[in-house]
Amino acid sequence: MELLAYGVDWLNLLVRWLHLITGIAWIGASFYFVWLDNSIRPPKPGSDLAKKGVSGELWAVHGGGFYNPQKYLVSPAELPADLHWFKWEAYATWLSGFALLFIVYYFNASAMMIDKSVADLSQWQAIGVGLGTLLLGWTVYDLLCRSPLGQKDGLLGMVMFVFIVATAFVLTKLLSGRAAYIHVGAMIGTMMVGNVLMLIIPGQRKLVEAMEQGKSPDPIHGKKAKQRSVHNNYFTLPVLLIMISNHYAMTYSHSYSWLLLGAIIAAGVLIRHFFNLRHHGRTAWGFPAAGVAILLAVAVAIAPRPVAKAAPMAQAVIAGGAAAIGAGHAGCNGGADAAATAGAAHGADFNRVQAIVTQRCVSCHAAQTTQPGFATAPAGVMLHTAELIRQNAAKINQQAVVLKSMPIGNMTNITPEERAEIGAWFAAGAN
């Protein structure tokens, strides 16, 4: 069993590595082509290039060579023998991401997907919600694009935004915050790959087929593909942030995590819009400024709040979090005393804290784990000795008291009272 979990850890690492590599290749190529499209300029009228049917070109220098890409309005007069397509980057990113969903979430659904304080789902129900989200997301998005709304870019964008935030809201009422976030990210990623697989590549194929038959290609395919390609462009930044947010419990464990996710998406779109305009030669700092302002507002809005019952200086200590504990309450002696009193009033003593941690955390967080499915201490955090608990006091408080993201999926059934006891011990100086 332990060996199996260890093997799954390796699989996790290797598939994650692959996912990053293919994702970089895909998004990198996509950024490059968007930049290219926005940066090319038409050749002089009547020049040889213009006569050849080139609608735009540019010069670039990279890696010691000069490059001169040229874009043809619809198609070149003759189809080249060797045409590059750029599709496997997208497919491989989705396939490796889908595999990761199984390795990280579906194989370990009770720890990674289910939060009994949110909804008491079975493992199969949780997995069903996850997979259903991907399918539903693509179906709704594709239908919207094909509906009359698909003609109105701005309105479609707004409707999609509302749909995604609403999906996030529903998911946070069914799954753990972490699983809700990753499934919103995976849903948007699925829309992006769906665009490549169902619209962009088939559109290009029709273009090429028409040329092979000596017909002039119907520009509608190019137009449809272009629309989806623009959507993908705006999806990129939000998706990337959602994917890495999984390692930042402050985002997904918040009680308004769905709203926060909406703000993150809005910020990502605004920042992306700035770059798109800039490649066109227009600089509009208002967009990224608004994006950054949104992120700052979010950071302030979700900053740790003082615990209501603690003494005033203890509140400062709690708010100060890790810094306060490290600094040993420098310049805050009176407060430390007050905090100690507050702690004592809550009955905080180290033996109790160690008993709680041993019962609720150590099955995963120890040199020798005993929790099935966890081969090594997650995130390298070990809590099996008194010294380790004191060393990790700030982290323990952060994860188990402030964010309540630990124990993961509350698999070890910690009680609210036990969380409060840890919090009181920490507020009193974590001695």
Instruction: State the residues that interact with ligand HEC by CB under 6 A.
Output: 111, 247, 357, 360-361, 363-365, 371, 374, 378-379, 381, 395-396, 399-400, 406-408, 411-412, 414
Q: Output 324 or 338, the one with its CB closest to ligand HEC.
A: 324
Q: Output 108 or 232, the one with its CB closest to ligand HEC.
A: 108
Q: Output 232 or 257, the one with its CB closest to ligand HEC.
A: 257
Least separation in angstroms between residue 137's CB and ligand HEC is: 24
CA 279 to the chain's CA centroid: 26
Largest CA distance in the chain: 87
Q: Are 123 and 417 in contact (CB under 8 A)?
A: no
Least separation in angstroms between residue 418's CB and ligand HEC is: 8
Q: How many angstroms separate the Cα of 417 from the Cα of each of 217, 414, 420?
A: 69, 8, 5
Q: Do you find a cis peptide bond into 407, omega within 30 degrees of 0?
A: yes
With b meaning 16 or more CB within 10 Å and e meaning fewer, what string describes 286-305? Answer: ebbebbeebbeebeeebeee
Q: Output 182 or 311, the one with its CB closest to ligand HEC.
A: 182
Q: Output 221 or 254, the one with its CB closest to ligand HEC.
A: 254
Least separation in angstroms between residue 164's CB and ligand HEC is: 23
Cα separation, 30 vs 120, in Å, equals 41
Least separation in angstroms between residue 4's CB and ligand HEC is: 16
Instruction: Extract the tokens encoding 324.
Output: 């306060």
Q: How many angstroms separate the Cα of 171 from the Cα of each of 178, 344, 366?
A: 10, 40, 32
Cα separation, 156 vs 385, in Å, equals 56
Q: Are 59 and 67 in contact (CB under 8 A)?
A: yes
Least separation in angstroms between residue 353's CB and ligand HEC is: 10
Least separation in angstroms between residue 362's CB and ligand HEC is: 8
Q: Output 90 or 411, the one with its CB closest to ligand HEC.
A: 411
Least separation in angstroms between residue 35's CB and ligand HEC is: 33
Q: Output 108 or 233, the one with its CB closest to ligand HEC.
A: 108
Cα separation, 208 vs 419, in Å, equals 63
Least separation in angstroms between residue 355's CB and ligand HEC is: 12
Q: Output 297 or 355, the one with its CB closest to ligand HEC.
A: 355
Closest CB to ligand HEC: residue number:
361
Q: Are 258 and 165 in contact (CB under 8 A)?
A: yes
Cα separation, 218 vs 105, in Å, equals 44
Residue with tokens 């019962």: 359
Cα separation, 276 vs 234, in Å, equals 9
Q: Output 73 or 355, the one with its CB closest to ligand HEC.
A: 355
Backbone conformation region of residue 95, classed left if phi is above 0, alpha if psi is from -120 to 50, else beta: alpha
Least separation in angstroms between residue 399's CB and ligand HEC is: 4
Q: Which amino acid is at 18?
A: L
Backbone conformation region of residue 41, classed left if phi is above 0, alpha if psi is from -120 to 50, else beta: beta
Cα separation, 348 vs 350, in Å, equals 7
